[in-house]
Each structure stands twice: as C-alpha cells, then as structure tokens.
Structure 1
C-alpha cells in the first residue's frame, strides 16, 4: 500500500492521508510522478476505474500518527498550485522564475 495525502481548497480541509493499492496509486500517479491534480487525473480517462479506486480509497483513511510516509499528494480545487508543480514531482517544485522551492 502507498499513502496519498489529499489537499483540497475547502477552508476546513484537514489534509487526510489514505492508503492506496499499487493499482489505485498507478491510476492516479503515472510512473515517476508524486503530485496529481484531480482534473488532470479525470482527463486521462478510465472514468469507471477511477471512480472505483477513489471509492475504495476514501474507506482507507490512515491516521497521521500511523502513516509510514506519504507517497503522493492529490490536489482538489487548487489549480493555482500547478504553477509550482510543472513536472508533477514534489522534489522539483519551483517558483515561477525556475528556482527550486527546496534546497535538497
């Protein structure tokens, strides 16, 4: 199982973590990516498979204290964040001038 943190645009978002099977994770995050935006995930197709995967995912919340890492972040309603994640890889998050948001 891989852990996905979900971040949405709601004021009361609590940034829950959910356990995904390898298949569910691969459906949301293409190989080498660990950042996803739900509209882009939906645009890839596989609508029924995605519906089933997300339905299962929501039933597997992982309390943060029990999480053994976060393998991917799924954004809802936060399209403005796409500017920082052009490569959909967290380690490559960058400002608009191309400077990395992290040093290492």
Structure 2
C-alpha cells in the first residue's frame, strides 16, 4: 500500500492520509509523479473512472503517526498552487529558489 496525503482548501488544515493500492496509486500518479491536482486526474481519466479509483481509497484512512512515509500528495481545491507545482509533478523538481540547500542537495541526487 502507498500513503497519499490530501491537501485541500479546507480551513481545518488536517491534511489527512489515505492508503492506496499499487494500482490505484499508479493511476493517480503516473510516470514517476508524486504530486497531482484532482482536476488533472479527473481530466486525464474521466469522472467515472476517477471516482471508481478514489472511492475505495476513502475507506482506508491512516493516522499520520502510523504512516510509514508519504508516497504522494493529491491537491484538492488548490488551483492557485498550480503555478508552484513543477511541470513534472515530482517533488524533486521544485525550483531551487523555493527550497533550502539541504533539499537542493537531496533532490539533485534523485533527479
């Protein structure tokens, strides 16, 4: 199972984590992505298929303290963040101007 953190526009800012099967995760995060906007996911797969993939995921919440890592981040109601997300939708491709030197060093080893 892969852990997916949901970042939404809610004011409660809980940013819950849910578990996805390998197949569900691959559908949401193709091509080595680890970031996705829900609008792009729905556009890519179509509403019906996207709902089929997401529905079982909502039945598998996990406490952050029990999660053994976050494998992907799914953004809801965050269209304004689009301009900040790397075009590749990979965390390691963040702009150097938005991360510290230690992140730059780490990310450069994984590009």
Counterpart position of 2:23: 23
Aligned-pair Cα RMSD in Å: 1.5
In structure 1, runs of 5+ residues without a counterpart are: none
Whole-Å Cα distance in 2 between the matches of residues 38 and 27 of structure 1?
Answer: 12
Answer whether contact 1:6 1:76 (CA < 8 A) is retained: yes
Per-residue deviation, 1:23: 0.9
Detail structure 1 runs of 4+ shifted over 6 Å in the superposition: none
Q: TM-score, normalised by structure 2?
A: 0.83
Count residues in correspondence: 101
Q: TM-score, normalised by structure 1?
A: 0.88
Per-residue deviation, 1:46: 4.2
Per-residue deviation, 1:49: 2.7
Higher-helix-fraction structure: 2
Q: Deviations over 1:34-66 (max 9, x none)?
A: 000000000002433321221100110011111
In structure 2, runs of 5+ residues without a counterpart are: 107-111
Secondary structure of residue in 2 paired with 1:59? coil
Correspondence list, 1:14-93, <5 A: 14-86=14-86, 87-93=88-94
